[in-house]
Chain A
Amino acid sequence: MLGLDSKDFKLLLIVAALTMLAPFILNPFPEGSGMAQFNAGYPDLMQRFVIFGIFAIGFNILFGLTGYLSFGHAAFLGVGSYGAMWMMKLFSLNVLPAIAVGIIVSGIFALAVGYVSLRRSGIYFSILTLAFAQMSYALAYSVLTPLTGGETGLQIKSTDNPLLSTIPEGEIGRASLFGLDMRASYEMNAGDWLFTFNAGYYIAALIMLLAFYLSIRIFRSPFGTMLRAVKSNQTRMYYTGLNARPYTLAAFVISGMYAGLAGGLLVAMDTQVGPERMFWTASGEVVLMTILGGAGTLIGPVLGSGVIKYMENILSKINKDILHEWFAFLPDGLEDFIVAIVYPFVGKGWHLTLGLIFMAVVIFLPGGLVQGGQKIARLFRGKKASEDSDEKSTQSTPAE
């Protein structure tokens, strides 16, 4: 189906089902219960899941296939966001042209950065991309303030006058898709459960499915094979008379365009952009997402971004009071003791927990969460099936 073999198609269907049913899957606990803290099915976080999923899928096309570790990918995310933002401020509040401009601007920027950076490989390439990203960040933060709004960033203001859209007097313009407000939601009450279906989320999710499909096609195409060849031995490629540069540059630009798409979507869902989006920690985050999920696998980066965004938004909000509430049933001394032990790992300590998980994954599951999933699946299916899956593992072999 759709030019995919049955296994890939099944994967695509699974991802489609997961994204479409996300409002249910992410809200497993009833409202008002103690566990409701762990619900993630609210529009903002669901949007972030799929948008950063796109970002990671794009990064994976470069890192997972060619092995080139770009440490400045957030620059493309930021540039795409600024492009989309200006499109909304000047041209139309419709998200489609904004996203398109985000992709194009990032693509051009990636072409320029890639053209210079890809002259080197390995650590030198990483440092070059990092330098470009930090340069973009510094420029956006100060020198380019008239264009980027500096520290305070850009937003749609009541004084903005997009060419094709009219903003009512005194109101702030809102991103929409042909009149459908990105923030419009339909809320469904089922007993104690509350499920939110958000317009912006579904649009982002459909685009993510499209991006995911495209990435499968790239992975399975001759072009994808060429990129894997670059990863396994670039020198040998040169000896056989093949110039690898056009392939790596193309991968770099595609990957940058994915980042631009994610950046444009971020602006479409939440009309604001600031320079922190290009800071090196944001570049590091996408590397973490990809490695955590499984570099070089199709679904890995999406899983990784989900885990990181979940921890950033859910775990970081657990404060001392909530912990005391949870452990209130214990005797006082013991309660304080347990809270004192758990507290450093939640709330502002979520970075620590993330670090521990990351270390555990790298040490025990070098192939990321995907490898973990495969191991579990193998346990269930028994030995015979495992040989079977080993045979097919060429499709999901993680990167080192």
Chain B
Amino acid sequence: MSKSNFTRRGLLKTGAATGAGLALPTYLSAAAHEGYLNAPTGSTVTLGFNVPQSGPYADEGADELRAYELAVEHLNGGGDGGMLNTFSSKALQGNGILGKKVEYVTGDTQTKSDAARASAKSMIEKDGAIMITGGSSSGVAVAVQALCQEAGIIFMAGLTHSNDTTGKDRKANGFRHFFNSYMSGAALAPVLASNYGTDRKAYHLTADYNWGYTTEEAVRASTEAMGWETVAAVKTPLTQTDFSAYITPVLQSDADVLVLNHYGGNMVNSLTNAVQFGLREKMVNGKQFEIVVPLYSRLMAKGAGENVKGIFGSTNWHWSLQDEGSQAFVKSFGTKYGFPPSQAAHTCYVQALLYADAVERAGSFAPCAVAEALEGFEFDGMGNGPTLYRAEDHQCFKDVLVVKGKENPTSEFDLLEIVEVTPVDQVMYAPDHPQMGGAEASLGTCNNGA
């Protein structure tokens, strides 16, 4: 290195400049006078829709965004009002939220925690969003939820199925309408028992990441409780596209049920491989070999095509439900976009409405007031029957749909049929359930951000 020539004068100058730089930022928040962050001041209020627009879940993200646009239209009094007409709470008038017109900003989560947080932060810091919602993966949901907790903004989770979102990573400012792994397991188990018997041997293939673990745990616990035996549980890399190497050992084991704890492209590929290997025609222990997919979505069923026929799984909502709320939603979504909504679209639409309603009932946008209005809130007419937003963990409790691949689909959207609606009592669990982080998990205190 070349010589350095620090002088006393130069050092003093640098020191002074550094000191000035450090002393410059003092704490002051613009919204302090309102008592909470990003208080809407004009005649409008801004919501942040943070969905995956690129990456593996871009399809789900696009459907979520459509649902949000529809929700904003309905909140502002446009369109046919959709579920506003069937919602049991009548606080919303169709004149925006608290009389303020609803505007929105969008962002791309790319299904990456970093990108999702950057996008959410820009919504909070730059666009003044009062609430963030969306997402199509639990990793993103947990990351953005924690960010909103720190910043003091309400987070309404979109599609996230892992137990952790409202389990060990639950937060006072975060709320989830979607169901979770535990509920899938609890809802599926009785249906599996009545269809396949109680003395089955299950073999699990599990996507090697957080959601896979909680789903495997949930399905194992509930099936073992009714007498099934778990032969093996093998983890598969998330990036795996060919599952032949994982299917062969299944053939050699004496298992007679294969549980695929896979989602999205993983599930499409593993199911296709399993069917190609002739698993479904196989007889083991004198019983027909069966395949189970704990979490189904229409987009996945579409990808797997013929192979989903007769395979059981669970889902949060399906457009073929005949209740008033679902019909109203399917009608207005179909009129606007020309095809029925997915379960991701449904949960996002409902979350947007629930938030708006809570603000209306609380009479304030302040996150703590909104959280209080949502906690313990019971409602109906949103497509899932009577639903409770539980105060202890901010998870919605409602009936869970057990579905199976339709044998004779009539259109490309009509791929799943509802086998049974498992009543909410069967999927209920204690807030300190071991699968939900046990007694250690806590919401913390709600944060107004100012």
* Chain A contacts to B: CB under 8 angstroms: 1-3, 20, 39, 42-45, 48, 138, 141-143, 145, 150-153, 155, 158-159, 169-172, 174, 180-181, 183-187, 194, 196-199, 202-203, 206, 217, 220-223, 270-272, 274, 276-277, 279, 312-313, 316-317, 319, 347-348, 351
Contacts and interface: CB of A to CB of B under 8 A. Distances in A.
Contacts of B213: 145, 150
B211 interface: yes
B105 interface: yes
Contact of B117 (A39, A185, A202, A272): A272
A308 to B, nearest CB: 12
Interface stretch (B24-32, B253-261, B399-407): B24-32
A197 B24 contact: yes
B405 to A, nearest CB: 27
Contacts of A217: 1-2
Interface stretch (B145-153, B194-202, B365-373): B145-153
Given A151-B211, A313-B119, A3 B3 contact: yes
Nearest to B441: A159
A142 B29 contact: no
B6 A2 contact: yes
Contacts of B106: 317, 319, 347
Given A39-B126, A155-B142, 9 more contacts: A1-B5, A42-B122, A141-B209, A142-B238, A145-B213, A153-B113, A153-B142, A272-B143, A274-B114
7 contacts: A1-B10, A2-B5, A44-B125, A151-B209, A152-B210, A184-B27, A185-B29
B150 A317 contact: no
B4 A43 contact: no
Nearest to A350: B108
Contact of A220 (B2, B5, B126, B150): B2
A152 B2 contact: no
B18 A186 contact: no
A186 B119 contact: no
A223 B3 CA distance: 13
B139 A170 contact: no
A395 to B, nearest CB: 14
B139 A151 contact: yes
A274 B112 contact: yes
Interface string B137-164: 1110011001101100000000000101
B278 interface: no
A184 B112 CA distance: 26
B237 interface: yes
A171 B444 CA distance: 6
Interface in B41-62: 53-54, 58
Given A43-B125, A44-B118, A348-B108, A198 B113 contact: no
Interface in B112-140: 112-115, 117-119, 121-122, 125-126, 137-139
Given A145-B210, A221-B1, A170 B444 contact: yes
B265 interface: no
A20 B21 contact: yes
Contacts of A196: 125
A313 B118 contact: yes
A186 B24 CA distance: 8
B126 A42 contact: yes
B67 to A, nearest CB: 15
Contacts of B442: 158-159, 170
Of the candidates B18, B114, B235, the one having the most CB atoms from chain A within 10 angstroms of its own CB is B114
B94 interface: no
A270 B28 contact: no
Interface string B7-39: 000100000001001101111111000000000
Nearest to A27: B126
Of the candidates B5, B105, B210, the one having the most CB atoms from chain A within 10 angstroms of its own CB is B210
A170 B445 CA distance: 5
Contact of B146 (A155, A170, A185, A223): A155
Contact of A142 (B5, B108, B237): B237
Contacts of B21: 20, 202, 206
A202 B25 CA distance: 8
Contacts of B1: 217, 221-223
